[in-house]
Amino acid sequence: MRHRHRHPRGVRSRRQTRPGHWHVRARVERFVEPSLLLLLRERPLHGYELIERLPEVAGEGRVDVGNLYRLLRALEAEGLVSSEWSAELPGPAKRTYELTDEGRRLLDRWAEALRQAQADVQGFLDRYDQDERR
Amino acid sequence: MRHRHRHPRGVRSRRQTRPGHWHVRARVERFVEPSLLLLLRERPLHGYELIERLPEVAGEGRVDVGNLYRLLRALEAEGLVSSEWSAELPGPAKRTYELTDEGRRLLDRWAEALRQAQADVQGFLDRYDQDERR
DNA sequence: TTAGACATATGTGTTTGACCTATACTGGCC
DNA sequence: GGCCAGTATAGGTCAAACACATATGTCTAA
């Protein structure tokens, strides 16, 4: 792939878009990973299907397509999913992914970790609500 | 500050520590920021006190001290907190931070965003529990 | 025959967080 | 008076995660 030099990208500071307006997004780190595993637990899917369905579990505006395919291959390299080209299906070549036992175990651990995160955030929100009068 | 070259850091792959054992931590991105704002809403504090109290709201094992002081100064540069050296207090020089109105508004937006995140994760967990039999 | 949806992929910059080192003041102990 | 541990703030550096951009091929319907 060829690339030419580009001009410096739009300079918005770390999280400020325009003065006095910050971009606040509270997201769970690497949430797409467990989301993919969860979708694949239900049935094997190929990448493009995963992209379409991801918002159902991971919320809106989460996925960068390029990173998603990269992640899928990383998961495969780690033995969490397996894949094969599906020649039978019509249309362009699709790689269909399936969850492995290892992947299933990791999903379970993610679920556990996510419950913990829920608890932490709940603690925050309780404390926030407690003194909202201030 | 002087630094010599160090050898490449401990090579653990992206998330794998030892074969078949992954490090799973579900955390909200930049959760320390709202945590600091929340603590400062309650009363002005200096950095070291914030470090001590942070686990109360942000959960265990979250804070890197260096990053925390950096973050505090970033927040100040953005007008979300203000600070001054507290000469009166005994011991080493302390910089006491206070929440600004702007910071208070940002905290409110964080709370909102965190509730949304709670909902997203809850959606995930519901779907996870739904078919746990698989 | 071509435009657009489908499908997979790579290149690369930016942000966040982990880990490490540096510095200085204070109080208690020997 | 020298040393050490605890208090307090801060900078350097790097890798992972994420955002943004581009490349490339197939197939269908107009």
The pLDDT tens digits of the residues spanning A56-71 come to 999 887 789 999 999 9
Domain count, chain B: 1
CA B16/CA B13 separation, integer angstroms: 5
Residue of B nearest to A30 (CA): B26
| Residue A97 lies inside a defined structural domain of this protein | yes
CB burial of B96-121 (b: ≥16 within 10 Å; e: otherwise) equals bbebbebbeebbbebbebbebbbebb
Is the minimum CB–CB distance between B117 and chain A shorter than 8 Å? yes
- Tell whether B10 is covered by a domain: no
Structural domain contains residue A50: yes
Whether the CB of A133 is below 8 Å from some CB of chain B: the reply is: no
pLDDT at B92: 76
Residue B16 lies inside a defined structural domain of this protein: no
* Residue A13 belongs to a domain: no
pLDDT of residue A76: 97
**Cβ neighbours of B47 (radius 10 Å):** 19
**DSSP element (H, E) containing B79:** none
B-chain residues near A127 (CB < 8 A) = 38, 56-57
User: Is residue A115 situated within a structural domain?
Assistant: yes
Low-confidence residues of chain A: pLDDT under 70: 1-20, 89-90, 133-134
pTM surpassing 0.85? yes
Q: What is the CATH number of the domain that holds B113?
A: 1.10.10.10
Q: Is A70 on the interface with B (CB under 8 A)?
A: no
Position A111 scores a pLDDT of 97
B69 inside domain: yes
B45 - beta bridge partners?
B97
Domain span at A69 = 28-120
pLDDT digits (tens, 9 = 90+) for B53-95: 999 999 887 789 999 999 999 999 999 999 998 877 666 789 9
